[in-house]
Structure 1
Amino acid sequence: MLLLTTLVNQAYSQAKVEPWGNITGIRKHGQLFDFESSIKVFSDNGKHIISTGKERQRPHFKRNGNIQEVTTSIDSLYLDEQVKDAGSGRIKVNLKLSAHADIVMKGIYFCITLSDKEYSDGFLRMSGASDSLKKFVNANNTYDENNIAGIEFKSISKQLKISFDEPAAVMIKHDTTHGKTELQLYMAIKLNSLHQGDIIEKTYTLKASGQIDRTPVNLTLNTQTQGREFDGLGGNFRLQNPKNDPQVIDYCLQNLRVAFGRVELPWRFWQPNRDIDPIASADSGKLHPAILKAMQMAHRLDSMGAPVILSAWFPPAWAVTGKVNYQPVNGIWGNPLNKTNMDAIYKSIADYIVYLKNKYGVEVKLFSFNESDLGINIRLTGQEHDDFIKGCGAYFAKRGLKTKMLLGDNSDATTYKFIYPALNDAEAKPYIGAISFHSWRGWDNETLQKWADAATQLNVPLIVGEGSIDAAAYSYPDIFQEPTYALQEINLYTRLLAICQPLSILQWQLTSDYSPLIGGGIFGNNEPLHPGQRFWNLKQLSITPGGLYAMPIRSDNVNVSCAALGDNGKNSYAIHLVNNGPTRKVTLNGIPTSVKQIQVYTTNKKKAMKQSGPLVVNNGTVTFKLPATSYITLISR
């Protein structure tokens, strides 16, 4: 019985570790007791701080059983962090730091950041003394103490206890800079400078506890308001790995309903020389293998009924100014278009679209330069983007092409101002077929709403051209198998459905690059190719019937994300829910009386789109349980 109890505690307790090393909380029975750890290095004058964080270093992540390990570096300081789940809300953090050069600094700290809202009115226990946290933090918003072996924060609903393997200096700050309101605990790992070859090792034990919030949730559906259409899950099919791409593409297309596809125009291979005729060259058998594969991919999607977006990454040298940059130069990505060659640029792209149509029967729906706001790999200003839409769009129309321009196709939701010149240009409007952004960054409601508003203003569809949550994840691919990553990704998609009302969310990618499948030799994993939790999330999203429309749905609990789609005329409805917390009961109201039953699908760490039900609808209401940290889809019957 004691062994069984231990196993159950471990199953319901897990550190949430980001692949760059920051711990963002401990889950217990699905409840996330949140905080954020980091390693901070203070400069010798104390004025500059370098921290571990997303896209700040080049980390590596792996899991060994109940241990998550991150290796990374801050300049010449190399870090090896091991986070072990020890059950009952307890984790052990082992930090090993080694200096690969002499490092002049004030100190290295293990830092824990807590929400001021949660803990500012709480209590703190340190060195046997316990008092209000406000009394510990002095008028300068800082409290310092030496020779501390442990510290405990306690609020009304949460507690966080930290024990050190040996006493250390600590500092507590109330940080209100840059609009923040946070409590920061700094635990000294090493004060003063390091010499090359120095190795430091520290161990910390963190225990989180508190109330498990199983409060029932009420969801209210409003079928009287109908928003934009959702066709279904889409995918990116930019071909980069001839060995591993085919098996993933085949599996995904055979097992998912893919409603939209995005493929590459390998432009630098299509017309490397401005003065050649690319169509004549292709007709004579001089078609580059990359072009052939890309066109075949477009044809395959088109034959399945999926509209095709064509996007260009790398340009031919003649189409841009300066030496073609495949990597950033002085922090700047990409090359601007060569304005003296604009007519040739329009013709070159149109020739590709014409050839694809004539040889493969594919009518390209939309065209874009990939992430031109950032320069991956063609860089435009917002005004240049507007000018290109008008110029190329008019040329397409002159050639009799139905292909429209994709406004934006931005690197992130945060760069929305890039689309404003074209958004507010009446002359550009006839050529814009849809608006697009990529979901790597900018997930707050206010930012996402700006994209929804832009689509409403132009009365065109909104597309999430690249869907996922971490653009650098390819460099630490073990993170793809973590349930926390899968849950965060599908939670974002659910919020995108509710806020942005996109026509499609195109997964990046349905190839071996960022693969939603496991094994098959991809990322060095030689297990037989099989679906992981991320794939089952995508499959569950893909069963949404095509042609439904966004409908308002409200949750009275912030830990349960929800999105609703429906068509009153078809009597067809789909509701997507993500429970980011413990198991809880949910009551869904507002279901049309014409719906008698609802089928339930659940995906989590242990369930792969498991069917249950059907639920019987009683007077427009159903009540059921939401499993902890799960993705749930309801389909009307």
Structure 2
Amino acid sequence: MKIITLTLLVILSCFAETAMAQTELMPWGNIRGIRVNGQLMEFETSLRVGGKEMTRATGKERQRPKYERKNGGQVVTTAIGQLDFMETVRDGGTGSAAVMVEVTAKEVTEDGIYFCVTLPGKWYGKAVLQADGLPAKAITAGIAGTAGKIGFRAAGRSLTIHLSKPSAFRIQQNKNGNFELYLPIHEGRLEKGGTASLSLTLLTSGTADTSLVHVTIETANEGRAFDGFGGNFRLQNAATDPQVIDYCLQNMRLAWGRVEMPWRFWQVKKTGNPLDSAHAGKLHPQVQRAMEMAQRLGKMGMPVILSAWSPPAWAVIGEPRFAPTPEGVWGNPLDTASMEAIYRSIGDYIQFVKEHYGVEIAMFSFNESDLGINIRQTGEEHAAFIKGMGAHLQQRGLSTKLLLGDNSDANSYQFIYPAMNDAAALPYIGAVSFHSWRGWDERTLQKWADAAAKLRLPLLVAEGSIDAQAWGYPQVFLEETYAREEINLYTRLLNICQPASILQWQLTADYSVMAGGGIFGDRSPLRPTQRFWNLKQLSSAPAGLKALKVTSDKEDVTIAALGDHQKGQYVIHLVNNGATRKTIIEGLPRNVRSLKVIVTDKTRNMQEEKPATVKNGRAELELGATTYTTLMAE
């Protein structure tokens, strides 16, 4: 059988820079550029398989990749159909990185395999193409040829590809107006066990944006209150959860907590009486641990959300599912013939927690029922459940309310509309809730802010983070890029949505903000990561400050502000996603004379820097490259 070794070498450099490059390799295998001194030189690579339309490509939540740091490089292993890929990326000095990819066919395939470089129209829309054997010309779709060197020159950016040997290439333009360069790794038949090869070098250069940043704040324009940061405490790892929970609760101010109701272990049979077993001390260990977790959070003074993931078999239609069907359908609908038993079972749990653990559950929800993790509802069924469950709890004298939504992400906002428009459901709703895994555009996030404003209820981001699949490649939690993108999203959520709390998924060993201690197999000493320090910094603001209107004139400087005009307390969060630049903040109250400056980045953990002086409501400071900075004034 013919075996061809695939070696893909990618070296990127930026002129006139002396700092080590930072290649931004996503855990699914796409390089989206290189940072030099904090400035991202954007482009995106991907591995693509198929015919003319290239319907299969590496991308977020498209495959089940693995990611790790190994032998000085970043390694991604993934698969597209019957092709296995292994990609290794190593930073190689000033503006450079090396990438090796090996592709192996698990079965015979005749699909084309390509290395694709996508050039953003923002920078390369009017680029000039220079390739061996072709005169320089403006980049357009349809250009094709054979070359050993392909270059793109544009104002502020350049990208050159050096191939180890002349190769065919072609250029297409996608629906977003971006140009795509296709380089074949293999075309035609590839036998089972066969591999294919391509090696190349990429050279990029560009000008960093170090222009002045202007921030304007309106301290008298107060919005909804931010109670503070929160956390999820769904217990799943008995050996490693306790140490993470202890560290987070002892070292971070938390305003909200969310725990699991292990419903399928609480009442296994419909005819059973779970209260009798509970009173007899026969709680399932998982139920007992969950109740004790709720008790611990309650004793710390935070409101507790109770969410059910997995139902008992009697409460749903069909065999309970914990994974999607081949058609992609998740979860099971509730059995409408058992609704009274369902209300009673959940009510019994909440009552027992109150009476025996001293915790009045603030809110109840089914986790992500819009999707079916693991109970699936329509918007109309969700509204009906809120009415039925809410009335049942009220009749029992329990103050617990229902979360409206608790959606799997922000995109499915229409799920909450039936209950929003049902006057009979409104008295039982305690807060509006969604999870932040997807749907980050401002228009979508504003839908949730508007819903909370319309109902005059708090908005909760009950699960906060950025990649639901990251549990499958947990070493990504240690990456600076992941930490920055997570806090960048939270800053945007504070500014756009004005939530009462963002609850981290999770503050346990699952999706851990800690490293070591046996977590994900890391036997080194337990220690906080950059993500932990970001969250601690976010949580350090005084409780109850209100959202303030604030704007930044730079897209890559994300900002949110909180304050209390009467108390004279103000907090400003800034995430600089680019190079070091000077920043001017205007609109501060005249009686503010100084701002405490706290910075977290790859090397600093909530480090207090020199205070920023405020004169006549105006402050100047320098934002370091790729930093998270919090300013505090009293």
TM-score between both structures, scaled by the size of structure 1: 0.95
SS of 2:414's equivalent? helix
Query: Does residue 291 of structure 2 align to residue 311 of structure 1?
Result: no
Query: Does residue 37 of structure 2 align to residue 29 of structure 1?
Result: yes
Distance (whole Å) between structure 1 residues aligned to residue 345 and residue 97 of structure 2: 58
Unpaired runs of at least 5, structure 2? 1-12
Give the match for residue 206 of structure 1. 202
Give the match for residue 126 of structure 1. 131
SS of 1:299's equivalent? helix
Cα deviation digits, residues 274-318 of structure 1 (max 9, x gap): 112111110111111111100110011111111100000000111
Letter in 2 for 1:152: G
Cα deviation digits, residues 214-250 of structure 1 (max 9, x gap): 0010100101211111011100000001100000000
State how 1:230-629 maps to structure 2 within 5 Å: 230-330=226-326, 331-629=328-626
Q: 1:97 aligned to 100, 103, 107, which one?
A: 103
SS of 1:506's equivalent? strand
- C-alpha distance 618-278 of structure 1, shift in aligned 2 (>3 A): same
CA shift, 1:47, in A, is: 4.8
Give the match for residue 108 of structure 1. 113
CA contact (8 A) 1:12 1:30 kept: no
- C-alpha distance 562-53 of structure 1, shift in aligned 2 (>3 A): same
Deviates more, 1:457-466 or 1:322-331: 322-331
CA shift, 1:92, in A, is: 2.3
CA contact (8 A) 1:521 1:527 kept: yes
CA contact (8 A) 1:91 1:207 kept: no
CA shift, 1:113, in A, is: 0.9
Overall identity of the aligned pairs, in %: 53
Distance (whole Å) between structure 1 residues aligned to residue 55 and residue 316 of structure 2: 39
Give the match for residue 145 of structure 2. 145
CA contact (8 A) 2:405 2:434 kept: yes
CA contact (8 A) 1:124 1:152 kept: yes
CA contact (8 A) 1:94 1:204 kept: no
Cα deviation digits, residues 244-264 of structure 1 (max 9, x gap): 000000010011001100000
Letter in 2 for 1:103: T
CA shift, 1:98, in A, is: 1.2
Deviates more, 1:371-380 or 1:420-429: 420-429
CA shift, 1:65, in A, is: 5.9
Distance (whole Å) between structure 2 residues aligned to residue 459 and residue 47 of structure 1: 48
CA shift, 1:593, in A, is: 1.6
SS of 2:245's equivalent? helix
Distance (whole Å) between structure 2 residues aligned to residue 149 and residue 231 of structure 1: 59
CA contact (8 A) 1:95 1:203 kept: no
CA shift, 1:616, in A, is: 2.3
Letter in 2 for 1:426: A
Cα deviation digits, residues 123-157 of structure 1 (max 9, x gap): 111116453424xx3xxx312112x1121112111
Cα deviation digits, residues 557-576 of structure 1 (max 9, x gap): 11100000000111111110
Deviates more, 1:490-499 or 1:112-121: 112-121
Q: 1:38 aligned to 43, 46, 50, which one?
A: 46
SS of 2:197's equivalent? strand
SS of 2:415's equivalent? helix
CA shift, 1:210, in A, is: 1.1
Letter in 2 for 1:131: A
Distance (whole Å) between structure 2 residues aligned to residue 203 and residue 603 of structure 1: 38
Distance (whole Å) between structure 2 residues aligned to residue 596 and residue 228 of structure 1: 26
CA contact (8 A) 1:412 1:442 kept: yes
Deviates more, 1:83-92 or 1:312-321: 83-92
Cα deviation digits, residues 414-453 of structure 1 (max 9, x gap): 1111111111111111111101110001111111111101
Query: Does residue 15 of structure 2 align to residue 19 of structure 1?
Result: no
Letter in 2 for 1:231: D
SS of 2:143's equivalent? strand
CA shift, 1:117, in A, is: 3.0
Distance (whole Å) between structure 1 residues aligned to residue 63 and residue 159 of structure 2: 28
Distance (whole Å) between structure 1 residues aligned to residue 119 and residue 54 of structure 2: 21
CA shift, 1:594, in A, is: 2.2
Unpaired runs of at least 5, structure 1? none
Query: Does residue 91 of structure 2 align to residue 59 of structure 1?
Result: no
Distance (whole Å) between structure 2 residues aligned to residue 438 and residue 498 of structure 1: 16
Give the match for residue 9 of structure 2. none
CA shift, 1:596, in A, is: 2.0
Cα deviation digits, residues 534-574 of structure 1 (max 9, x gap): 01101100101100000011101111000000001111111
Give the match for residue 8 of structure 2. none
CA contact (8 A) 2:613 2:620 kept: no
SS of 2:220's equivalent? coil
Letter in 2 for 1:96: E
- C-alpha distance 207-623 of structure 1, shift in aligned 2 (>3 A): same
Cα deviation digits, residues 23-62 of structure 1 (max 9, x gap): 111111100111111111114xx45531111111111111
Give the match for residue 157 of structure 1. 156
CA shift, 1:614, in A, is: 2.4
SS of 2:632's equivalent? strand
Distance (whole Å) between structure 2 residues aligned to residue 406 and residue 394 of structure 1: 14
Letter in 1 for 2:570: Y
- C-alpha distance 511-320 of structure 1, shift in aligned 2 (>3 A): same
SS of 1:425's equivalent? coil
CA shift, 1:10, in A, is: 7.2
- Which aligned runs of 4 or more in structure 1 are off by greater than 6 angstroms? none
Distance (whole Å) between structure 1 residues aligned to residue 243 and residue 298 of structure 2: 19
Letter in 2 for 1:322: G
CA shift, 1:118, in A, is: 2.0
Distance (whole Å) between structure 2 residues aligned to residue 486 and residue 207 of structure 1: 27
SS of 2:242's equivalent? helix
Letter in 1 for 2:161: I
Cα deviation digits, residues 375-413 of structure 1 (max 9, x gap): 000000010001101111111111111111100000011
- C-alpha distance 118-11 of structure 1, shift in aligned 2 (>3 A): closer
Distance (whole Å) between structure 2 residues aligned to residue 110 and residue 133 of structure 1: 22
CA contact (8 A) 2:434 2:463 kept: yes
Deviates more, 1:223-232 or 1:323-332: 323-332
Q: 1:74 aligned to 73, 80, 97, which one?
A: 80
Query: Does residue 172 of structure 2 align to residue 173 of structure 1?
Result: yes
SS of 1:553's equivalent? strand
Give the match for residue 635 of structure 1. 632
CA contact (8 A) 1:123 1:130 kept: no
* RMSD value, Cα: 1.5
CA shift, 1:91, in A, is: 2.2
Distance (whole Å) between structure 2 residues aligned to residue 410 and residue 472 of structure 1: 17
